[in-house]
């Protein structure tokens, strides 16, 4: 069980979940176990959920029409209802800090948004209109960013209510989605040959794989049941994409540790933030309550880029991660793009906090924190919530898996008991009796010993010792009835087989026609085995 509070003894050793050593550290750079993360997560889950549903954290901005910077996507068209998103159009319902004026002139053609980015990007200034807008001294502008923070202020950007556009199964997939994932993983091919490359490469891969796996968990957890019309978890889908791969689950936990550490690191700054009036206490208390559950040892970012030698590597890491955030503009499905943007921005913000605050002097540190835009902070908290939800869902899936396993075990046990009381065994028993009855008492004993030895591998019900009056007539009548009963049962079995025959032929024909048709239209290899037969769990366990 991944849940620390639950009873470990309930779990069968056969589940892939058990192959994760829950008492062990999530990675060499994390001083935290799976169990401890489960505990932290169950402690903060409620507050985090409340926080991302507040007016401040539930809105995000993105440019839906931004061109894909890596290939021509001019034919992009999001036609499927499940992948399109609702944008905010009724501004009058929004709180003051989301009004166009506070957002830096959104929808105001006279305002050149990009010109004002310095002001717009200052997180503190954006929180409350009319606050004293004194800026901290500005150190020389280095590139500290792991994503393009200015794009949120683009004129084309639209405001989206994240709670109204949940991340769930949209049907987006196939070659196009695979190309995007392939491109993202391709960013892991570091050119630098500096020391420490391995750790950085490993961390980069884990981040990307953890994001991929976390999206996999969310879509498995929110699938449309076409029979009931309700959205809910689909165990087979989850097992095929994430559950059967302990390394993917581990990477989700790794990402959780990374984002949690980033939040822990800006904790002193967050507690000093001055949120607006009525909003202030509620939001602030939630943030404080969440971050107070986190610990500095959850992730050791200092292990990655230790010295001057690895600084070059850090630059490369930053540029490569920026590319991961930029490739989100190539995702055709709007819902997927929205959540892809939120999460990659959340990771980018975490990396900025972890790697750029570390070596900076106090002035630069203040500068970096002050320059965090509200979109980065919103993305950071929402990404943490996504990971938190993924971990909660993994624990639920594990319970579902174990329940299913138990049901199947029970079925198998029932089958065995039906099987053991099957006529085949009765016949054997009767055959023994018949043979024995024709022999002398002594022979009878010898024979029985031999027979029982011969069938010792069969599990027979223990013979009941019942004193019976030996009645020859009764014995023959009973034998006759038993034989007739057996013949009738055999006939019923043959009859049922004939009845099932057309159905079986139809199923086989349909399956073959399906294969031929897929081959004919050129998608013969589209379905992989695990998708064709998702209940066959391939356990990829080390
Ligand atoms: C940015 C982005 C956001 C998306 N958001 C959504 C969404 O909101 N809703 C939705 O329904 N779909 C979404 N998708 C699509 C979804 O991620 C899958 O691509 C799609 O469901 C097809 O899945 P698949 O099983 O064919 O393999 P894919 O998930 O496309 O994976 C391709 C290959 O990568 C490998 N792989 C898979 N997972 C991992 C991992 N964690 N670590 C390492 N290797 C791995 C496997 O070999 C797999 O065959 C999104 C895709 C992208 C790129």
* Tens digit of each residue's pLDDT (9 = 90 or more) over 72-96: 766 655 555 566 777 777 766 676 6
Strands 158-161 and 59-62: antiparallel
DSSP 8-state class, residue 174: H
Q: Ligand 1 mean position to 502 CA, how many Å? A: 39
Together in a domain, 348 and 445: no
136-150, 379-393, 512-526: segment of lowest average pLDDT = 136-150
Can you give the pLDDT at residue 362? 75
Q: Ligand 1 mean position to 403 CA, how many Å? A: 27
What residues are paired with 223 via a beta bridge?
A: 232
The token duo for 289 is 């309550």
How many C-beta atoms surround the C-beta of residue 382 within 10 A?
A: 23
pLDDT tens digits for range 186-195: 887 776 565 5
Together in a domain, 384 and 447: no
Asked whether residue 338 is assigned to any structural domain, the reply reads yes
Alpha helices in 438-528 (DSSP H): 441-454, 472-520
Together in a domain, 176 and 100: yes
Statement: the pTM of the whole predicted model exceeds 0.80: no
Asked whether residue 186 is assigned to any structural domain, the reply reads yes
Residue 436 CB contacts under 8 Å (≥ 6 apart), including other chains: 444, 447, 448
Asked whether residue 205 is assigned to any structural domain, the reply reads yes
Together in a domain, 431 and 377: no
Cα Rg, the chain, nearest whole Å:
32
Pick the more confident residue, 131 or 161: 161
Together in a domain, 455 and 336: no
Residue with tokens 């939040």: 263
Together in a domain, 336 and 430: no
Residue 65 CB contacts under 8 Å (≥ 6 apart), including other chains: 156
Atom of ligand 1 nearest to the CA of 171: 11
- Domain with 434 in it: 422-460
Together in a domain, 205 and 329: yes
In the predicted structure, residue 146 carries a pLDDT above the cut 50: yes
Q: Confidence class of residue 356 from pLDDT cuts 50, 70 and 90?
A: confident
Q: Say what percent of the chain tops pLDDT 70.
A: 64
CA distance 431 to 448: 11
Asked whether residue 520 is assigned to any structural domain, the reply reads no
The token duo for 473 is 């007539």
Q: Which of 145, 161, 53 is nearest to 98 (CA)?
A: 161
CA distance 338 to 334: 6
Q: Which residues are annotated as catalytic?
A: 333, 336
Together in a domain, 321 and 362: yes
Can you give the pLDDT at residue 499? 86
The mean pLDDT value for 137-161 works out to: 73
In the predicted structure, residue 336 carries a pLDDT above the cut 90: yes
Structural domains counted in the chain: 2
Can you give the pLDDT at residue 188? 75
In the predicted structure, residue 316 carries a pLDDT above the cut 80: yes
Residue having the nearest C-alpha atom to atom 49 of ligand 1: 178
Together in a domain, 435 and 356: no
Together in a domain, 402 and 447: no
Residue positions in the annotated binding site for FAD?
168, 170, 181, 209, 212, 241
Asked whether residue 403 is assigned to any structural domain, the reply reads yes
Q: C-alpha angle 286/287/290, rounded to 5°?
A: 85
Q: Are 259 and 383 in contact (CB under 8 A)?
A: yes
Residue having the nearest C-alpha atom to atom 31 of ligand 1: 178
Together in a domain, 141 and 274: yes
DSSP E strand stretches across 17-135: 59-62
The mean pLDDT value for 483-505 works out to: 87
Asked whether residue 348 is assigned to any structural domain, the reply reads yes
pLDDT tens digits for range 180-225: 999 998 887 776 565 556 777 888 899 999 999 999 999 999 998 8
Question: ipTM of this predicted complex?
Answer: 0.98
Q: Ligand 1 mean position to 209 CA, how many Å? A: 10
Asked whether residue 491 is assigned to any structural domain, the reply reads no
Q: Say what percent of the chain tops pLDDT 90.
A: 26
Together in a domain, 87 and 182: yes
pLDDT tens digits for range 382-433: 999 999 999 999 999 999 988 888 777 777 666 554 344 444 445 455 555 5
């Amino acid at each position: 069980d991944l849940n620390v509070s639950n009873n470990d003894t309930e779990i069968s050793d056969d589940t892939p979940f058990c192959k994760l050593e829950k008492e062990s550290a999530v990675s060499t750079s994390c001083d935290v176990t799976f169990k401890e993360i489960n505990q932290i997560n169950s402690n903060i889950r409620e507050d985090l959920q409340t926080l991302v549903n507040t007016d401040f954290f539930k809105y995000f901005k993105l440019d839906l029409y931004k061109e894909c910077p890596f290939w021509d996507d001019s034919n992009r068209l999001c036609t499927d209802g499940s992948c399109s998103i609702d944008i905010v159009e009724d501004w009058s319902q929004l709180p003051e800090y989301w009004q166009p004026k506070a957002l830096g002139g959104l929808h105001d053609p006279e305002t050149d948004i990009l010109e004002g980015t310095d002001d717009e990007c200052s997180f503190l200034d954006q929180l409350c209109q009319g606050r004293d807008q004194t800026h901290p001294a500005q150190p020389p502008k280095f590139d500290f960013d792991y994503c393009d923070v200015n794009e949120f202020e683009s004129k084309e950007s639209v405001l989206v209510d994240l709670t109204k556009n949940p991340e769930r199964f949209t049907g987006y997939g196939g070659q196009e989605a695979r190309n995007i994932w392939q491109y993202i993983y391709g960013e892991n091919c570091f050119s630098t040959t500096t020391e420490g490359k391995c750790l950085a490469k490993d961390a980069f891969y884990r981040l990307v794989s953890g994001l991929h796996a976390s999206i996999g968990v969310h879509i498995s957890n929110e699938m449309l049941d076409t029979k009931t019309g309700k959205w809910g978890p689909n165990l087979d889908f989850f097992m095929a994409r994430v559950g059967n791969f302990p390394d993917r689950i581990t990477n989700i936990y790794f990402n959780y540790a990374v984002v949690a550490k980033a939040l822990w690191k800006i904790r002193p700054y967050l507690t000093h933030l001055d949120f607006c009036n009525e909003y202030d206490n509620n939001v602030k208390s939630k943030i404080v309550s969440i971050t107070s559950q986190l610990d500095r040892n959850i992730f050791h970012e200092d292990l990655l880029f230790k010295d001057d030698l690895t600084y070059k590597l850090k630059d490369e890491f930053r540029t490569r991660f920026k590319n991961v955030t930029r490739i989100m503009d190539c995702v055709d499905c709007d819902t997927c793009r929205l959540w892809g943007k939120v999460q990659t921005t959340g990771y980018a913000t975490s990396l900025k906090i972890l790697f750029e605050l570390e070596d900076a002097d106090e002035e630069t540190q203040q500068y970096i924190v002050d320059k965090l835009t509200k979109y980065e902070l919103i993305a950071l908290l929402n990404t943490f919530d996504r990971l938190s939800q993924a971990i909660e869902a993994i624990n639920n899936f594990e319970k579902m898996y174990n329940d299913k396993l138990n049901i199947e075990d029970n079925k198998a046990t029932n089958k065995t008991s039906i099987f053991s009381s099957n006529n085949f065994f009765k016949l054997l028993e009767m055959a023994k009796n018949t043979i024995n009855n024709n022999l002398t008492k002594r022979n009878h004993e010898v024979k029985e010993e031999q027979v029982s030895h011969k069938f010792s591998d069969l599990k027979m019900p223990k013979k009941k010792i019942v004193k019976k009056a030996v009645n020859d007539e009764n014995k023959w009548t009973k034998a006759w009835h038993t034989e007739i009963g057996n013949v009738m049962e055999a006939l019923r079995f043959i009859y049922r087989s004939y009845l099932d025959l057309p159905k079986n032929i139809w199923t086989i024909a349909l399956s073959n026609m399906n294969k031929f048709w897929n081959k004919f239209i050129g998608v013969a290899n589209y379905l992989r085995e695990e998708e064709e037969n998702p209940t066959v769990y391939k356990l990829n366990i080390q």
